[in-house]
Structure 1
Amino acid sequence: MKWRWRLLNSEEVGLWKEVLVAKYGVHILNSAVWSTRLNSHLTSLWWKDICDLENCVESKNWVAEMFSRSIGNGASTCFWSDLWIGDSLLYVKFPRLFSLSLQKEAKVRELVSVEGGKYNWNFIWRRRLFIWEEENVAQLVTFLANVRLSMAEDKWRWVVDAEGSFSVKSAYDVFFKEIVIGTNLPFFEANIFSNIWESPAPSKVVAFSWQLLHDRVPTKENLRLRGVLPRNSDGFCVGCGVICESTFHLFLHCKVALVVWYENFKWLGVVIVIPANLFVLFDCLSEAAKSKKSRKGFRLVWHSVIWSIWRARNNHIFKNVASDPLEIVEAAKVLSWRWSADRMHISPCLFYEWVWDPNICFNN
């Protein structure tokens, strides 16, 4: 979308634009709708992706609705296929008239004449119109009654921005609403999902936690469900070797995970019973904190424990290196310490005074 905007924006100049115009035609600078132009099979994958933007949303041309024209003299605005009046394209609003028109590529200026301050619209049809079609023409002329041209040049606008300027963020927000069907999560779970992104843990760890809460991490059970592992494979957890390695077992109920969590609770000074799922565990740790600073720290520890368990599991499978539960505990402590030192705007010693003895902290 940013490339489409740069092509339409007359202030953008450069050799790259001249090359694209020479190869694909001048219409790429003047029109937001390219669906009527057939592209050669020799076009690059990059160019095909730019062209395919119009087909991203089912049943409508999403690109055409995002770009509108601020009408000036009307010399460079397509009457039918540019969004320059109203909230939809004229060929969409009056499809019958568009099919009959012999001026499908005409500009606004080419279809209007001004006599004594009165605007007359000059349409050419491929046959005589039926009475009901003439009524459509009357509706179209009424719709155009307030159009006034000026001496200024026509300009493109990004419709979702008040100032008409394009941004990738605004395009993402609009496109997300168009193609993503949101899940109706319970308020409790939705609140947890919003809070995990506020953690000072590294972004890859937070993203992993988000996948984990959606049960989308590649545990043996998930790999078997997706056909990556054979159905008849044992899929046992590497920690206990008895129960199938599901998400909740690996991170909550395995004997290794239980030791890791309880040792970290002891370190934090929190008394807790392992809950049924990771959502409740995250919430319990957040509620156990006595201040905003410590809440951030507890959540950081939650992420570090999750990440340490996953790394220990992968080391066991791929490197044949088994980790003692207490080694995982220490790894989680070290990780949370490093993350707090790197990513939080406070001294790590001040941050950890609620979990470590000040003398030990000083010596370290």
Structure 2
Amino acid sequence: MEDWGVLAARYGIDRGRLREGGRSGSSWWREIARIRDGVADIGGGWFGESVVRKVGDEVETFFWTDPWLDGIPLCERFQRLFDLSVNKSSTVAECFSLGWGVGGEVWAWRRQLWAWEEELVVECQALLHNFVLQDQSIDMWLWRPDPIPGLPTKDNLAHRGIITAEAQSCVAGCGALESAQHLFISCSTFGSLWMLVRSWLGVSLADPLDLTGHFSQFTFSSGSARARRSFLQLIWLLCVWTIWKERNNRLFRNSEQSVSQLMDQVKLHSYWWLKSSNITLAYNYHCWWSSPFLCLGIL
């Protein structure tokens, strides 16, 4: 809070927030304030939309202006109360000590409230009723997870404006749009790799429609023993990596392998990955090609 005090002394506070400072403010501070307020030249309010306040002891979190409760600042949810409050710059910890229950001292106003404004106070108190300060942890800002998947599939690239909507076709030539779910599971070309993998492992299951469900079902398809699950997790990740590498080769190098050749890659790489990790295999490479569980001794 020492830095806050320095900035507050120099630039002043308006509605519980540090002022931009106008022409008297330094250029770096004006730029930070513009980003905070969502008026930067590029991206608008990207910063406010990308961070959330993680509650701790709340010593450094402001009651009205920080998004510490359900990700929305109370000054936005209860703007009328914020306008009337005399404690605009108080922290959550300070307001908690003043008391925010019925009759609490935090509810100090510039004038007497109307009946409908009193109802807003009751609503706000209901939100605060079960909140408990976490004395053993500090306040911090966290980045929100990006709702758009990070994998640069064509649908993702089109969503970000990197490629046109017309350029989203799957590289396998199946005619569908390339998404992660399509590429790794439902594509008639790449998705058929899973059938060969299941035959190699001697397991049978229906493919779920989403990647998370597919991973969970695949890794438990041969029982819940830890050794089996760990091995199947390796195979699942290796299949995804093999498909993605083949996708890139087709897209950028104009080279193509059959699904049978991709299956051979899965067998080959899984064998050498395990060998490089000093995993003892009961039988030789040729046995691995047909009976991986037997080689691992986890039948």
Normalised by the length of structure 2, the TM-score is 0.53
Offset, 1:232: 4.4
**Any stretches of 5+ residues in structure 2 without a counterpart?**
38-47, 54-64, 77-87, 119-131
| 1:254 shift after superposition | 3.1
Counterpart CA distance in 1 for 2:153 and 2:217 is: 25
Would you say 1:220 and 2:154 are equivalent positions? yes
Offset at residue 86 of structure 1 (A) = 0.8
Aligned to 1:349: 280
Shift of the 94–350 alpha-carbon distance from structure 1 to 2, 3 Å rule, reads farther
Cα distance, 1:305 vs structure 2: 1.2
Once the two structures are TM-superposed, the CA of residue 333 in structure 1 deviates from its matched residue by 4.4
Cα separation, 2, equivalents of 1:35 and 1:65: 8
Counterpart of 2:240? 306
Distance in 2 of aligned mates of 1:164 and 1:222: 40
Tell me how far 1:265 sits from its aligned partner.
Answer: 1.7
CA distance in 1, matches of 2:11, 2:99: 23
Secondary structure, in 3 states, of the residue corresponding to 1:349?
coil
Say if 2:98 is the partner of 1:85: yes
1:60 to 2:74 alignment: yes
**Structure-1 separation of matches of 2:165 and 2:220:** 41
Question: TM-score, normalised on structure 1?
Answer: 0.45
Alignment check: 8 A CA contact 1:252 1:278 kept: yes
| 1:83 and 1:90 in contact (8 A); partners too | no
Question: Is contact 2:100-2:106 (8 Å) kept?
Answer: no
RMSD: 5.1
Out of 20, 25, 32, the residue aligned to residue 9 of structure 2 is: 25
Length, aligned pairs only: 227
Judge conservation of contact 1:65–1:83 (CA < 8 Å) in 2: no
Following superposition of structure 1 onto structure 2, how do residues 38-187 of structure 1 map, counting pairs within 5 Å? 38-40=19-21, 41-42=25-26, 43-44=28-29, 45=31, 54=65, 56=67, 57-60=71-74, 67-69=92-94, 83-87=96-100, 93-97=107-111, 160-161=133-134, 163=135, 165-166=137-138, 168=140, 172=142
2:16 paired residue among 5, 21, 35: 35
Displacement of 1:68 after TM fit?
A: 1.2
Task: Sort the Cα spacing of 1:164 and 1:285 in 2 relative to 1 into closer, same or farther, 3 A.
Answer: closer
- Structure 1 position 335, deviation (Å): 5.5
The alpha carbon displacement at 1:298 in A equals 1.3
Offset of 1:340 from its aligned partner? 6.3
Unaligned runs of 5+ in 1: 1-6, 9-16, 70-81, 100-131, 137-158, 181-206
Higher alpha-carbon Rg: 1
Distance 1:37 1:260, change over 3 A: closer
SS at match of 2:93: strand
Alignment partner, residue 265 of structure 1: 198
Please, which of 160, 178, 184 is the counterpart of residue 246 of structure 1? 178
1:48 to partner: Cα distance: 6.7
Query: How many angstroms apart in 1 are the aligned matches of 2:271 and 2:163?
Result: 37
Q: CA deviation at 1:269?
A: 2.3
Other-structure match for 2:59:
none
Corresponding residue SS for 1:237: coil
Tell me, in whole angstroms, the C-alpha distance in 2 between the residues paired with 1:165 and 1:277.
Answer: 36
SS in 1 for 2:214: helix
Contact 1:275 1:281 in 2 (8 A): yes
1:271 partner amino acid: S
- Between the aligned partners of 1:341 and 1:356, the Cα distance in structure 2 is 15
Q: Distance in 2 between matches of 1:317 and 1:61?
A: 50
For the pair 1:318 / 2:252, whether they are aligned, the reply is yes
**Matched residue type, 2:93:** S
